[in-house]
Structure 1
Amino acid sequence: MKHKASSKHTRNFDAKKNTLNIKQFFKRSDAELPQDKVAKAEMYLTGYMAEHGVPFAQADHLVDVIKKMFPECETARNMKMKKTKASYMLQDGIAWEERQVVAKFCRENYFSLIIDESTDISVSQVLAVMVRVYDEKKCKVADLLLDFVEVDDASAEGLYKSVKEMLEKEEIPLQNIVGFASDNCSTMLGVNNGFQAHLKRDLPSVFILGCVCHSFALCSSHASNTLPSFLETFLKDVCCYFSRSSKRQHQFQMIQDVVQSPKHKMLKLSQTRWLSRGLVLSRILEQWDALQLFFQGEAKTDKVDGASQISKTMATPGTKHMLLFLNYIISKVDKMNLEFQSQYFRIATLYSTISDEYRSILALFVDEDILHSHSLAELDPNDAAKHKSIIELGGRCEAMLIKQPLGEKEGRFRNDCKRFLVELCSQMKKRFNFKEDSILAMLSIMDPKEALSPQRGIKSIGKLAVNFPNLVKEEDLDELQDQWKDLLQFKESLKNISGMPATSFWLELKSIKDANNQTKFHHLSTFMCNLMVLPHSSAGVERVFSQLNRIKNKQTNKLQVSTVANRILAMQSISRQDGCHRWEPSPALIKDVKGGKCHKRYMEREASRKGGELATLYADEGDTDEIEEAMNVYLN
């Protein structure tokens, strides 16, 4: 006790407290570990290769070049990545994590299903399964690829079975599906035996929507059948004439210089690209003088019969008039098409946008008094008694008729245009529900301006909520209705968020609290946020197929579907962070790379693939007794 009180002990005790422990002296944070820096560098390089479609084989030389470029960098010197490692880091690292993230999100949240089936360049039937989700962290709606499925049975029942098995494998509840969208083929949207029919048997309340963009393309295609057949032939002949010869393209460029026309190439008319018809029409009208001069010269040489026919068609009175009219109408359809090809939230404006454009087209040939006195659902475009005596053809076409009158042919020309308009509107009415009490019409209240307007269309939100029983419980309908009514009373206090887009407004509404510090609009906000996942088109899955065709081309046609899916999933993961230059691999992913988990998944995948190949080989040769043994050897 005396020693404890001495000055020597006190001095040594204080010195001991300030001495660093030997373990702390040698300890480094995870970010400072050299192997972490190397793993990160390899992941960054793999992410760059994934986003820009760089072949894995380039990794063999790429890493060696980086080492020569930065000889003083310790991280670069320690990088060891060839094509095999780049492949499994992408497939069993980035893509594997992205698949888990999307599946987990679907397990815990409501989502919409968007699917489509296609045949790739190697004649493999591929089903793309996408989900539309609402990300509360980013306040935005996103279409995400869940996976590709290689299918043997492309019937509606076979596709539904494949999708259901995938969801069960990922442990995603079927009840989390709120909506379904696809193209308009009978396999997908057949009422009796289509994919949607099978889905409705399991989920009677699911929201079904045929792709709006596909529908517009079909409406235009059916309406085009009412026009004289020479027009379609003329468009195809003009486009194909230049695609066959670079010499013709060069000669046409010389003509463009003479007439001082923009040096734009002639476009190709495609049956599968929705917007190609309108773009081809615009380009032909833009290059009309140059084309006329070019084909007049080609016709004189008598080299090709097609040039003479094209020149004759262009000189025929009424051809340019008709093209001007079609360009005016098709541009209206294409504007709607472009609007709903967007990846962003559009379901709230779907009904109003289509209704306004439909009314605008009807006004060209239907009497205005009748148009204002009848609802769109009641009005029959084929009723000749409601038509105008003289239809409107658009400003450019009307001006052309004044400059170059058609004389006696004008009556027939206007009748052709009228038949086109009538058929276009008939097809639109056939494919869209213009009733004001339809689900699409009621979804317009998701627009904050509509929801906060005293003249809003829906007084009772229960009319909309009953169509989505999986989103709102029956016992919560009273509170939901009260919160919908109170929204107008709190309009002044919501001024700071009323100008936000719908994806942000309804989420911010959750933060509004009452006098008791309780959320004022909890049920309403939750209901609206869950409705955000409803699809407005299936354009997202078409974009995925475009990526598939870029990855799996003539040179890479032996790539497996799973490899292509992993590449696209990796690109998706990186693009969600705005590109490889901003992408940061998660700590869990870095840990998997360092700990060898990515390599282990790769080895298991390879063993499963090779075991399956051997099992198939033995089965083909009839050695069925050795199948199980072969599988065990490679799987173990």
Structure 2
Amino acid sequence: MARENVRPPHHHDLDRSIAIAKILMLCFIAEHNLPFLLADHFTELCRNMFPDSEIAQSLHMKRTKCSEMAKQFGNKIHDDVVSQLRINKFFISDRHETDVSTTKCLSVLVKYFDSHGGTIKTRLLDLIDVYENHSSNVGSSGESLFEMIMHILNSNNIPLNNLVGLAADGASNIMGAYNSLSSRLRQHLSDLKIFKCTCHSIHLCASEASKVLPRQCEDLLRNIYTRFSHSAKRKYEFLQFQKLFSLKPHKLLHVSQTRWLSLHQAVERVLEQWEALKQYFVSIEGVEKLRSINLIVNDLNDPSIYAYFNFLNFILPFCNNFNLLFQRETPTIYLVHFHVNRLYKNTIQYFCRNEIVNKSKIEHFDPSQEVNHIPLSNIYLGDSVHTLLQKEEYYKNVDMVADIRRRCRLFMIKLCEEIKKRFQLQDDLWEMASLFNPEKVLDPTTRDVMPSLAPLVAKVPRLYDGDLQTLDNEWRHLDSTPIPLDITPQTYKPVDFYLKLGSYKFDNTYLFKSVATFALNILALPVTNTDAERLFSKLNLIKTDVRNSLSIDSVKALTYISESVKEQGCCYNFQPSENLMNIL
């Protein structure tokens, strides 16, 4: 009888295999946004795979146990992130938004250079319900957000000295001068660096500039979308007109005040379908006899509205391309200075005198002064508009053409003014960070522009606490030390380039360890809040109408797991640690 109670040796391997299977199942659930009910199928699968195993046959795991396992898994990943923040400099991004169950969540993300893994990471630190926190204040006021973030950092024993900066959009409760999250953080950490999201800022620039155009432009976009948005019959009827004009059966798009790039996408789609839309609405105007249909027909037959749409289709892609550049997950801090100034100067040159622009300091140039403008008839509004204005229905209507040109110039003036307002064109940090472009850092003239890194360290004082002379010595020696031919910007991406540079040894001595680590921390500086936007897109996939009862803890755990899986490629590549095996 005693021998029957002894577990055979293979039971340990089977126990381990089932633990791995549990982990992979949780990874699969998190990666593909599946319900915890999948645990029922997993249990049945294990029993069928190992019919002679008592361990497998005694396995019981349904929705509740699966949820608890996910939370334990997520807590382990959270602990790993916290341990990294205790030894690395990091930045915080935050965003609060209401989910499908009307729970208002605050997500706190951290971005840091992982010196051990050799990568720049963005990870979720915490996700909390702003109306069920344990601070003295609730809601999303600046004071409440500050207390929640400080509670997260202190409760996890994360040193405040490692917090370098905050990145967020321009909401008043976060970026306001008084009683905001950023103002309160600066009161406690005076040298903290605050970054406004460049993508959000350029979106607001384009949105504000669009307001100087006739209101009918935006109304037309919204009215057309509203006509088709909830009617399969109307979509089918319009499909016949698309076929008649040999157009692709594309949907009409919605203009969103919060979704970046949506204005240009909607304008481009309406222009593509313009003739089909015109004929469709003309055909139903006499049948339905609605005021909204009359307005749409009038606008589609208005040559000035068509010209404005073509102008927007010309000018908005410049803003969108800027936006897309900085939505990338790779480092972009070294690109900001060049591209902000390029967008501003290119826009100015469409309606201002080049000789005046080239003689002026760009940050002091006033685009609204008429003395700087070229004649109204010579401003550049894009090839499509130029071609349109040569047609008889335009050039015979002198007043209409003059008004089109005047309003389009106002759009560009407003766009430039908003760029100057929301961006510092000659921001010292952006300008100095641009020198860490791998294509510039090995250029000897770079040391002529910035002979010492002391001014850059002073801009972000919390980022570097080592010996400044050692840093400067390595920075200066980049000109005089022969760098191996395989360490080139053309061979490696920015992060890999500096990792390779930092690992370069001569006579068993690292020659550029400090400057490479400093450069990697500079590259980790957040210039956008797109990571928080992506996170909330992920949360909306996790917590849906079907899974609207998921608790904040479950959503947070699934997000932790999903991020960890993504870091390793996919759930099939996930390598669980021994600590994680023991937990599950």
How high is the TM-score relative to the length of structure 1? Answer: 0.84
1:51 aligns with 2:31: yes
Post-superposition shift, 1:132?
A: 0.7
What SS does the aligned partner of 2:111 have? strand
- Structure 1 equivalent of residue 270 of structure 2: 284
Alignment partners' CA distance in 2, 1:404 and 1:347: 49
Identity, % of aligned positions: 30
Contact 1:351–1:444 at 8 Å: present in 2 too?
Answer: yes
The answer to which of 392-401 and 154-163 deviates more is 392-401
> Counterpart of 1:345 in structure 2: which amino acid?
P
Alignment partners' CA distance in 1, 2:50 and 2:227: 53
Alignment partners' CA distance in 2, 1:404 and 1:263: 32
- Structure 2 equivalent of residue 396 of structure 1: 384
Post-superposition shift, 1:195?
A: 1.0
- Structure 2 equivalent of residue 543 of structure 1: 534
Contact 1:112–1:131 at 8 Å: present in 2 too?
Answer: yes
Structure 1 or 2, whichever has the larger Rg, is 1
What SS does the aligned partner of 1:498 have? coil
- Structure 2 equivalent of residue 608 of structure 1: none
> Counterpart of 2:434 in structure 1: which amino acid?
S
Post-superposition shift, 1:62?
A: 4.3
Contact 2:88–2:114 at 8 Å: present in 1 too?
Answer: no
Out of 404, 418, 432, the residue aligned to residue 409 of structure 2 is 418
- Structure 2 equivalent of residue 464 of structure 1: 456
Out of 71, 84, 103, the residue aligned to residue 91 of structure 1 is 71
Post-superposition shift, 1:169?
A: 0.9
> Counterpart of 1:573 in structure 2: which amino acid?
S
> Counterpart of 1:397 in structure 2: which amino acid?
V
Where do residues 351-366 of structure 1 align in structure 2 (5 Å cutoff)?
351-366=337-352
> Counterpart of 2:222 in structure 1: which amino acid?
K
Post-superposition shift, 1:543?
A: 1.5
> Counterpart of 2:174 in structure 1: which amino acid?
M
- Structure 1 equivalent of residue 235 of structure 2: 249
Alignment partners' CA distance in 1, 2:45 and 2:14: 20
Out of 416, 432, 438, the residue aligned to residue 448 of structure 1 is 438
Alignment partners' CA distance in 2, 1:116 and 1:443: 26
Post-superposition shift, 1:136?
A: 4.1
Alignment partners' CA distance in 1, 2:568 and 2:465: 36
How many aligned residue pairs are there? 563
CA offsets 1:572-595 (integer angstroms, 9 cap, x no match): 1111111112112222111122xx
- Structure 2 equivalent of residue 204 of structure 1: 190
> Counterpart of 1:329 in structure 2: which amino acid?
I
Post-superposition shift, 1:87?
A: 1.2
Alignment partners' CA distance in 1, 2:476 and 2:359: 30
CA offsets 1:147-205 (integer angstroms, 9 cap, x no match): 11222232111111110011111111111112210110111111232211111122222
Alignment partners' CA distance in 1, 2:278 and 2:482: 61
> Counterpart of 2:223 in structure 1: which amino acid?
D
What SS does the aligned partner of 2:573 have? coil
> Counterpart of 1:527 in structure 2: which amino acid?
F
Alignment partners' CA distance in 1, 2:94 and 2:124: 10
Out of 564, 575, 579, the residue aligned to residue 555 of structure 2 is 564
Alignment partners' CA distance in 2, 1:282 and 1:369: 34
Out of 202, 217, 232, the residue aligned to residue 231 of structure 1 is 217
Contact 2:146–2:185 at 8 Å: present in 1 too?
Answer: yes
Contact 1:130–1:147 at 8 Å: present in 2 too?
Answer: yes
Post-superposition shift, 1:404?
A: 5.3
> Counterpart of 2:531 in structure 1: which amino acid?
G
Where do residues 257-272 of structure 1 align in structure 2 (5 Å cutoff)?
257-272=243-258
What SS does the aligned partner of 1:470 have? helix
CA offsets 1:358-397 (integer angstroms, 9 cap, x no match): 2111111121122222222111111221112121001222
Alignment partners' CA distance in 2, 1:213 and 1:307: 36
Task: Could you tell me which runs of 5 or more consecutive residues in structure 2 were left unpaired when the two chains were aligned.
Answer: 1-6, 131-137
Q: 1:334 to 1:98 in 2, by over 3 A?
A: same
Alignment partners' CA distance in 2, 1:551 and 1:465: 41
Q: 1:236 to 1:491 in 2, by over 3 A?
A: farther
Contact 1:42–1:79 at 8 Å: present in 2 too?
Answer: no
Alignment partners' CA distance in 1, 2:8 and 2:482: 57
Post-superposition shift, 1:256?
A: 0.8
Out of 78, 100, 109, the residue aligned to residue 121 of structure 1 is 100
- Structure 1 equivalent of residue 4 of structure 2: none
- Structure 2 equivalent of residue 82 of structure 1: 62
Alignment partners' CA distance in 1, 2:55 and 2:115: 37
Q: 1:74 to 1:332 in 2, by over 3 A?
A: farther
Q: 1:396 to 1:75 in 2, by over 3 A?
A: farther
- Structure 2 equivalent of residue 17 of structure 1: none
Alignment partners' CA distance in 2, 1:575 and 1:75: 31
The answer to which of 332-341 and 445-454 deviates more is 445-454
- Structure 1 equivalent of residue 129 of structure 2: 150
Out of 68, 80, 85, the residue aligned to residue 101 of structure 1 is 80
Q: 1:145 to 1:287 in 2, by over 3 A?
A: same
Contact 2:88–2:115 at 8 Å: present in 1 too?
Answer: no
1:40 aligns with 2:20: yes
Alignment partners' CA distance in 1, 2:482 and 2:275: 58
Alignment partners' CA distance in 1, 2:370 and 2:306: 27
Alignment partners' CA distance in 2, 1:383 and 1:110: 45
Contact 1:367–1:387 at 8 Å: present in 2 too?
Answer: yes
Alignment partners' CA distance in 2, 1:74 and 1:422: 76
Contact 1:136–1:507 at 8 Å: present in 2 too?
Answer: no
Out of 528, 531, 535, the residue aligned to residue 519 of structure 2 is 528
Alignment partners' CA distance in 2, 1:74 and 1:441: 66
Q: 1:233 to 1:591 in 2, by over 3 A?
A: same
Out of 407, 421, 427, the residue aligned to residue 418 of structure 2 is 427
Alignment partners' CA distance in 2, 1:564 and 1:102: 17
Q: 1:352 to 1:78 in 2, by over 3 A?
A: farther
What SS does the aligned partner of 1:406 have? helix
- Structure 1 equivalent of residue 336 of structure 2: 350
The answer to which of 451-460 and 108-117 deviates more is 451-460
What SS does the aligned partner of 1:33 have? helix
Contact 1:98–1:570 at 8 Å: present in 2 too?
Answer: yes
Post-superposition shift, 1:143?
A: 1.6
Q: 1:404 to 1:219 in 2, by over 3 A?
A: farther
How high is the TM-score relative to the length of structure 2? Answer: 0.91
Where do residues 452-601 of structure 1 align in structure 2 (5 Å cutoff)?
452-456=442-446, 457-473=449-465, 476-490=467-481, 492-493=483-484, 496-499=487-490, 500-514=492-506, 516-593=507-584
Contact 1:60–1:83 at 8 Å: present in 2 too?
Answer: yes
- Structure 1 equivalent of residue 43 of structure 2: 63
Task: Could you tell me which runs of 5 or more consecutive residues in structure 1 were left unpaired when the two chains were aligned.
Answer: 1-25, 594-636
Contact 1:179–1:533 at 8 Å: present in 2 too?
Answer: no
What SS does the aligned partner of 2:121 have? strand
Post-superposition shift, 1:79?
A: 4.9
> Counterpart of 2:428 in structure 1: which amino acid?
S
